[in-house]
Amino acid sequence: MFRCGTIAIVGRPNMGKSTLLNALVGQKISITSRKAQTTRHRILGVQNREEAQFIFIDTPGFQTRLMNTLNKALNRTVTTALQDVNVACFVVEAGYYGEDDKKVLRLLPNDLPVVLVLNKLDLFNSRFQTPSERDQALLNFMKEMSQPWTELGGHEDQGKCEFAEIVPMSAKSPGDIHRLLDVLEGYLPESPPVYDGETITDRSERFLAAEILREKVFRFTGEELPYTSTVVIDQFKMDGKMRRIAATILVDRDSHKAMIIGQKGERLKKISTDARIDMEKLFDGKVFLETWVKVKRGWADDRAELRAQGLE
C-alpha cells in the first residue's frame, strides 16, 4: 500500500513556514528571512519515504494589513493552494494565537483535515525556568486550541470543525520533523507517486537563482529595506558546466538602491558573493553571477510587472 498526497503549509507571515518546508523536504528550496513577506510564490517540495510520497506546498503568509496589488496576489496564492490538497498544516507560534491567526483560520475549508502545527517550540520552552512550568503552559495552550473553530475566531459556517491533530514542534529538530511526517502520512490517500524519487521541487533553476539572490538582499539589508524589492533574472545559460547568470534587483526608490549597493559597492558585493555560493551548493556546479540594481517606482502595484514575475 503506497500513499501519495498534497499538503498545504499555511499561516500568518513570519511563522517559519519556509524553514519548515525546507526541513520536511531535507534540502533548502524555499528562502527564509526575518522579513514577513519573504515567500511570494507557491513553492512545491517533495519528500519520499519507502511507502509514501509527500508533496508539500509552501504558501506566502496571509497578508492582513497593506493591501497593494502584490499583497492581494499573495493572498490569492494562499486561497488557491487550499482548494486542491489532501491535508493542510496550519502553522502558529507555540503559546501565541492572535487576530492575524484567526484570519487565516477563516480561510480553511470545513471538509479538509487540518493539522495544527505549534511551531518554534524551542523559543516557547526558553521562557520557563522549570520543565513542570513549561509542560503545564504547553498543555494549557493545546487545550485552548482544541476548541471548535467557531470558539477560536472562525466563521459560523465552520461550525464544530476542530483540528485533526495538534503537533507541538520545532522545525530545527529532526525528531520533530520525523514525527510530523508520521502524523501527515496517515492523511494521505492510497495512490502511486506523482514524482520520481530524484525530484525535490517543480521549480526551475532560474526561479531558484532569483529566490536565493532575493534572500541575500533581505538578509544583508535587515529592516532598513522595505519588502518592495524583487529580483529579475535577465540571463541564465550554461557555458559548459558553468551557469552564467545575470540578475537585476528591482527597488522602489533611489535611497533603496543606494542601501543595497552600500559604500563603494561593498554591500552589493557581499550579497552577490553569498548568493553565488548558495547557488553553487544547490546546483552542484560553478556559477558566474552578475548583479545590477535598478529603480522601478511602483512595481508592487504594476500588474504587468507582477504577471512577468508569475505573481499575478
* Contact status, residue 113 vs residue 188, Cβ threshold 8 Å: no
Name the grid cell of 30.
524555499
Distance CA 146, CA 85 (A): 23
> What letters, b where the CB count within 10 A reaches 16 and e where it falls short, cover 256-284?
bbebbbeeeeebbeebbebbbebbeebee
Nearest to 291 by CA among 205, 230, 211, 213: 213
Strand 242-251 relative to strand 43-49, pairing? unpaired
Q: What is the pLDDT of residues 146-193, one digit of tens each?
A: 999 999 998 888 878 999 999 999 999 999 999 999 999 999 999 999
What does the alpha-carbon distance between residue 312 and residue 307 come to, in Å, rounded to a whole number?
5
Is-contact 32 19, C-beta < 8 A?
yes
Q: Are 213 and 191 in contact (CB under 8 A)?
A: no
pLDDT tens track, the chain, 312 positions: 899 999 999 988 878 888 898 899 888 777 554 444 444 456 788 999 999 999 998 775 554 455 555 555 555 655 666 778 899 999 999 999 999 999 889 888 888 999 999 999 999 999 998 999 999 999 999 999 999 999 999 888 887 899 999 999 999 999 999 999 999 999 999 999 998 888 888 788 898 898 889 888 888 886 666 556 788 899 999 999 999 999 999 888 888 888 889 999 999 999 999 999 999 988 889 999 999 999 887 665 555 555 555 544
Residue 14: per-residue pLDDT: 79
- Whether the CB-CB separation of 29 and 45 falls below 8 Å is answered with yes
CA 34 to chain centre: 12
pLDDT tens across 56-96, in order?
A: 987 755 544 555 555 555 556 556 667 788 999 999 999 99
104, three cell numbers: 487565516
Distance CA 18, CA 22 (A): 6
CB atoms within 10 A of CB 19: 20
Domains along the chain with CATH numbers:
3-185 (3.40.50.300), 205-308 (3.30.300.20)
Could you give phi then psi for residue 44, rounded to 5 degrees? -105, 130
C-alpha cell at 186: 496517515
d(CA 12, CA 103): 8
- Residue closest to 124 by CA, chosen among 108, 113, 112, 135: 135
Contact 18, 30 (CB under 8 A): yes
Q: Which three-class secondary structure string do you get for the chain?
A: CCEEEEEEEECCCCCCHHHHHHHHHCCCCCCCCCCCCCCCCCEEEEEEECCEEEEEEECCCCCCCCCCHHHHHHHHHHHHHHHHCCEEEEEEECCCCCHHHHHHHCCCCCCCCEEEEEECHHHHHCCCCCHHHHHHHHHHHHHHHCCCHHHHCCCHHHCCCCCCEEEECCCCCHHHHHHHHHHHHCCCCECCCCCCCCCCECCCHHHHHHHHHHHHHHHHHHHHCCCCCEEEEEEEEEECCEEEEEEEEEECCHHHHHHHHCHHHHHHHHHHHHHHHHHHHHHCCCEEEEEEEEECCCHHHCHHHHHHCCCC
